[in-house]
Amino acid sequence: MSKEQKQKEQNAPSIIERKTGRLIQEEEYGQKAIYFLYHHFLGRVLLKMIFARPYFSFLRGLYYNSFLSKKDIAPFVEKYGLSKELLKKNYQSFGAFFSRKEAVYLREAGRENTKENGEAWKGKIQEKRHEKGQAGKRPFYATSSGKLQAYKIDQEGKIIFLGSENNGESNLLPLEIKGNFYSIEKILKASCPEFLKGGTLLVFRLSLPDYHRYIFPARGRLLRTKKIKGRLDSVRKEAAHFKAFSENKREISLLELEGMGKILHVEVGAMLVGHIHNHLGFKPSFDKAVGCLREKENKPCRKKHLAFRFQAGEEKGYFSLGGSTIVELLNDKIMIDEDLFESTNKGLETKLEIGERIGYGKA
C-alpha cells in the first residue's frame, strides 16, 4: 500500500454519530507525536524507557494539576468545539477542567444529555423503586461518553466478529480494534468466566475531548474489585498493533445488576492518565455480606465480604489526564441494541454520550 493510500485510509470516516447518523473523522490531540512513538525505532525506545512509565505520567500530572496549565484550557475548548460555557467556570488547572463533574441524565437512545430529555425518560421507567422499560425490560445505559464497539461472545468464551463481506458468517477471532488483537483471557489475566459465555463485549474508547467520568450502567451491587498493574500505553488508533489492553494498568469490577445478573467492568489506564479514580465506599452503603467468588489455589475463598450498592447512573469514578478505555463484559441476559453491532461489523465506532440507553436486560 502506498503512502498516499495509507493517508487516505487514515482520513476516511471511521465514526458514526448515533444521534444524527452522520459519519465523522476524529482529530486526535497530539496525533503526530503518538504516531512517532509507536511507528519509529527511536520513538519506541523513548516509549519503553520513558513515556510508558508511571513516573512520566506522574510528572506530567504535576504540571497539568498546577495553575501553569490553566492557559491550555481555552485553546483546547476552541480546538474541539466544546461549549464556551466551560470557560466561564474558572477552573484553576487543566487537570481540574479535564476531570470536571457534569450532570448526567438517564435517557432514551440517541437523546441529548439534558434534564428535559433525561427526567422525562427516567420518569417513565421508574416504578416502585425499580427501573423498568418496555414490556418490563430493565434499561442498560452507556457507562461513559466516547466511541463504542460491540462484539458477541460465543459459548467457548471467544469473541465473534460478523463480517459484512462474508454475508453474515461468523469468525472466531481475538478482539480486533484498529489492528490490535486481544483475547478476553489477556484482558482479565484469567480464563473467561462461565457467566459471560454467550454474552457481549463492549469497548468504550474515550479520547481527550470526551467527558472522563463514568457511571454504573444499571442498579445493582459491586461484589469484588481487582487491580492489575502495568505500563501506560496509548489506547488511540495511532498505537495500533501494540497490546494496550492486556498490558496497561487496569481495574476490574465484578458487578451484579438487578434482574440482569453478573457483569465485569474494566477501566484501562492510558498514556498521560495518572490514575483511575473509583469512588469505592464513598458513602456507607456496604450493607450486606456476600460470598467471595475468587478462587485461591483452585479452592473457593470462604470469606464473606460486604457488597456496595449503587443506582443506575450513579457515578462510579473518573480518569485523570488523557484518553482511556472501558471494557464491559456482559452475560446473555443483557441485550445490546442491534445498531451498535451493525456499526461495529462495518468497521465503525459509534459515538454516544454517557447515560443514554444502549440495551435492555431480558424480562
Taking CA atoms, 47 is separated from 33, 35, 59, 276, in Å, by 11, 11, 15, 21
* Model pLDDT for residues 45-76, shown as the tens digit of each residue: 666 666 666 667 677 778 888 999 999 999 99
Residue 183 and residue 176: Cα distance in Å, rounded?
9
pTM (2 decimals)? 0.80
Task: State the burial class of residue 29 (Cβ atoms within 10 Å of its Cβ: 0-12, 13-18, 19+).
Answer: middle
* Model pLDDT for residues 326-350, shown as the tens digit of each residue: 999 999 999 999 999 999 999 899 9
- 64 CB-near residues (< 8 Å, 6+ apart): 72, 93, 94, 95, 98, 321
pLDDT of residue 67: 93
pLDDT of residue 324: 82
Q: Which residues on adjacent β-strands are paired with residue 309?
A: 221
Closest C-alpha among 292, 144, 129, 148 to residue 219: 129
List alpha helices for the chain, DSSP H.
Answer: 3-11, 31-39, 41-46, 54-64, 73-80, 94-98, 115-125, 184-188, 244-247, 338-345
Q: Which amino acid is at 286?
A: F
Largest Cα–Cα separation, the chain? 62
CB 232 within 8 A of CB 53: yes
Q: Burial code of 183-192, b = ≥16 C-beta within 10 A, e = fewer?
A: bbeebbeeeb
- 112 CB-near residues (< 8 Å, 6+ apart): 19, 353
pLDDT of residue 33: 61
- If the chain, 363 residues long, is cut into consecutive pieces of 10 residues, what is the mean pLDDT of each piece? 48 83 78 60 67 67 88 93 91 93 92 86 60 72 96 90 51 48 80 94 91 95 82 42 55 92 89 69 42 48 64 91 86 97 93 96 79
CB 216 within 8 A of CB 172: no
